[in-house]
């Protein structure tokens, strides 16, 4: 091996090692969470990746400043109370559809779209905005963001700060507007 070939091989090895290090660092990024607290991730604008899947197979990263009130609802198809919860949520979504300052993210935990569609059909539920449905097939994002129950909703303000959270089913008819306004006003649970 000539000296030039050795330098090229050594340089290529360094470049490959740097690329592998950069990829492993990027793949491990997750905003800081507090597993000892009974609330969701406090700040989505802390960098990292919290990926959920769309129906078309593309992904959405929940990290960052949404610029709107972000309503993140977690549900597990088939759990008791889920059909009633989703019916009430769909009613609130329909009622508030003219509000362009809302971003709805409805995440089916540990499910795929075939299972979600089958469950929606069996439950006689029709989402008013099907593009707001996402799946978290492995449950990894749900766990990282701090979802601890089969039905849970987190309300984030435009800056990505957690304003409030329902632990279990929400009372969409009674408290959705108040929670949305609380998030819009910049309040946080901290």
74 in a structural domain: yes
Question: Which tens digit of pLDDT belongs to each residue from 81-103?
Answer: 999 999 999 999 999 999 999 99
* Residues 85 and 176 both lie in one domain: yes
Task: Assign 168 a pLDDT band (cuts: 50, 70, 90).
Answer: confident
Angle at 156 between CA 179 and CA 42, to 5 degrees: 120
* Residues 110 and 146 both lie in one domain: yes
pTM attached to this predicted model: 0.81
* Residues 53 and 138 both lie in one domain: yes
Tell me the three state secondary structure of residue 134.
strand
Q: What is the average pLDDT value for the chain, to the nearest integer?
A: 88
* Residues 12 and 92 both lie in one domain: no
**Domain of 111, in residue numbers:** 31-184
Answer for the pair 64, 78: CB distance below 8 angstroms, yes or no: no
Task: Assign 27 a pLDDT band (cuts: 50, 70, 90).
Answer: low
**Does residue 174 come out as left (phi exceeding 0), alpha (psi in the -120 to 50 range) or beta?**
alpha
* Residues 174 and 123 both lie in one domain: yes
Instruction: Find the mean pLDDT for residues 48-60.
Output: 93
Strands 162-167 and 102-109: unpaired
* Residues 18 and 112 both lie in one domain: no
Task: Assign 22 a pLDDT band (cuts: 50, 70, 90).
Answer: low
CATH number for the domain spanning 92: value is 3.40.30.10
Lowest mean pLDDT, pick from 1-5, 38-42, 55-59, 150-154: 38-42
pLDDT at 173 over 70: yes
Sheet holding 133-136, edge to edge: 59-61, 51-53, 133-136, 102-109, 69-75, 151-156, 162-167
pLDDT at 66 over 80: yes
């Amino acid at each position: 091996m000539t000296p030039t070939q050795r330098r090229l091989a050594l340089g290529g090895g360094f470049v490959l090692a740097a690329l592998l290090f950069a990829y492993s660092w990027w793949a491990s990024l997750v905003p800081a969470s507090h597993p000892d607290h009974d609330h969701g991730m406090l700040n989505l604008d802390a960098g990292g990746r919290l990926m959920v899947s769309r129906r078309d197979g593309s992904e959405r990263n929940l990290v960052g400043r949404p610029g709107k009130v972000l309503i993140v609802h977690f549900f597990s198809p088939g759990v008791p109370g889920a059909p009633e919860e989703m019916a009430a949520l769909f009613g609130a979504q329909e009622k508030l559809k003219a509000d362009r300052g809302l971003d709805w993210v409805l995440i089916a935990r540990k499910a795929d779209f075939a299972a979600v569609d089958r469950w929606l059909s069996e439950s006689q539920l029709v989402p008013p905005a099907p593009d707001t449905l996402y799946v978290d097939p492995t449950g990894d994002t749900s766990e990282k963001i701090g979802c601890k129950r089969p039905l849970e909703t987190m309300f984030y303000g435009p800056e990505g700060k957690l304003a409030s959270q329902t632990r279990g089913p929400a009372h969409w008819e009674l408290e959705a507007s108040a929670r949305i306004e609380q998030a819009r006003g910049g309040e946080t649970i901290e």
